[in-house]
Amino acid sequence: MKQALTVPKFKAMKASGQPIAVLTAYDYPSARLAEEAGVDAILVGDSLGNVVLGYDTTVPVTLEDMIYHTRAVVRGAPGTMIISDMPFATYRLGPEETLRNAARLMREGGAHAVKMEGGADLADEIRRLTAAGIPVIGHLGLTPQSVHTIGGYKVQGKDRQEAEKLLDDAHALERAGVFGIVLELVTEPLAAAVSKSLQVPTVGIGAGRGCDGQVLVFHDIIRYGSGIRDKRFVKTYADVGETIRQAIGNYVGDVKSRQFPEEKHGFPLDDASAKDWALSSRLYGGDPT
Ligand code: KIV
């Protein structure tokens, strides 16, 4: 069986210049497909809230939701590194409470690592988790759990003040012990500069070509769902939503027009029962011959 990437190997990919391919997944079939297709790591993102649970933001996602979905992903991709998101308000609660919550994602969910959104303010909590053996990946740039503070899903790092803060935060996270940093919706030059200046890999989403790896949302790259919005930073590889819609429409049409089921979809009686006069008369109201 394929072995899951370890944290040292994840970091070594940057050193040897190998791009890191990460994809989100939230359930058993998507995780299996992602593993079979050869992703380096799966992120059980709290984007779960948007693409699977139907919320407008990631804020309502709970630790229980994350544990439940992480378990399914781990079952589907036993040979892949699984990183699970710490959802809104399950950290920044002080190092001990944060440690308890992160430990649940690993012990009950089976995650190999956790991801947290935020900068230098998380340093103490990250140090506590890494000291306890919990690998942490950071997340800077657009941090969707703070959407109500930021005021929307906007590209980050556009002016000097934002750019300098992001660089400082990235270095604070690295010093605190993260093994990688997700950069979301960050201008390409800034993401490239951050990536160059760090020892640990950056994994970009909407952060351009200079990152050490890329992550995208499962449902986005295959348009799995209804009303998937086009996003500039997403490349679409299939339109599974349209395929599913057409398939279900054809099924409904076949049932309504009695074209499904056909004879081949049914189960005949065995020969002896078919010749049984009593049974046949009950089923068909007559002689089996
Ligand atoms: O929740 C998520 O899917 C994420 C990615 C967008 C990086 O955090």
Q: How far is the CA of 161 from the centre of ligand 1 (A)?
A: 25
Look up residue 63 and give its amino acid: L
Q: Are 249 and 214 contained in the same domain?
A: no
Is the residue at 275 inside a domain? Answer: yes
Q: Which of 205, 218, 221 to mutate to test the pocket of ligand 1 (most atoms within 8 A of CB)?
A: 205
Q: Is 85 part of a structural domain of the chain? A: yes
Q: In terms of C-beta density within 10 A (0-12 exposed, 13-18 middle, 19 or more buried), how is residue 147 classed?
A: middle
Quickly list DSSP for 79-123: TSEEEEEPPTTSSSS-HHHHHHHHHHHHHTT--SEEEEEBSGGGH
Nearest CA to ligand 1 atom 8: 45
Are both 45 and 135 inside the same structural domain? yes
Based on the fold, state whether residues 32 and 145 are members of the same structural domain: yes
Closest atom, ligand 1, to C-alpha of 144: 8
Do 11 and 81 share a structural domain? yes
Q: What angle do CA 146, 149, 153 make, to 5 degrees?
A: 65
pLDDT, one tens digit per residue, over 86-100 is 999 999 999 999 999
In a domain, 267, yes or no: yes
pTM confidence score: 0.95
Between the CA of 58 and the centroid of ligand 1 the distance, in Å, is: 10
Query: Do 157 and 262 sit in the same domain of this protein?
Result: no
**pLDDT per position as a tens digit, 210-228:** 999 999 999 999 999 998 9
Distance (angstroms) between ligand 1 centre and the Cα of 52 equals 13
pLDDT tens digits along 52-103: 999 999 999 999 999 999 999 999 999 999 999 999 999 999 999 999 999 9
Write out the catalytic residue numbers: 184
CATH number at residue 77: 3.20.20.60
Q: Is residue 235 part of a domain?
A: no
* Domain interval for residue 190: 7-221
C-alpha to C-alpha distance for 211 and 195, rounded to whole angstroms: 6
Which tokens hold the place of 213? 């790896």
What single DSSP character describes residue 4? P
Q: How many domains does the chain have?
A: 2
Rounded to the nearest whole angstrom, what is the distance from the C-alpha of residue 185 to the centroid of ligand 1? 11
Residue 87 included in any domain = yes
| Ligand 1 pocket at CB < 6 A | 24, 43, 45-47, 85, 182, 184, 205, 215, 217
pLDDT for the residue 276? 80
Residue 43 CA: which ligand 1 atom is closest?
Answer: 3
- Decide if pLDDT at 233 tops 70: yes
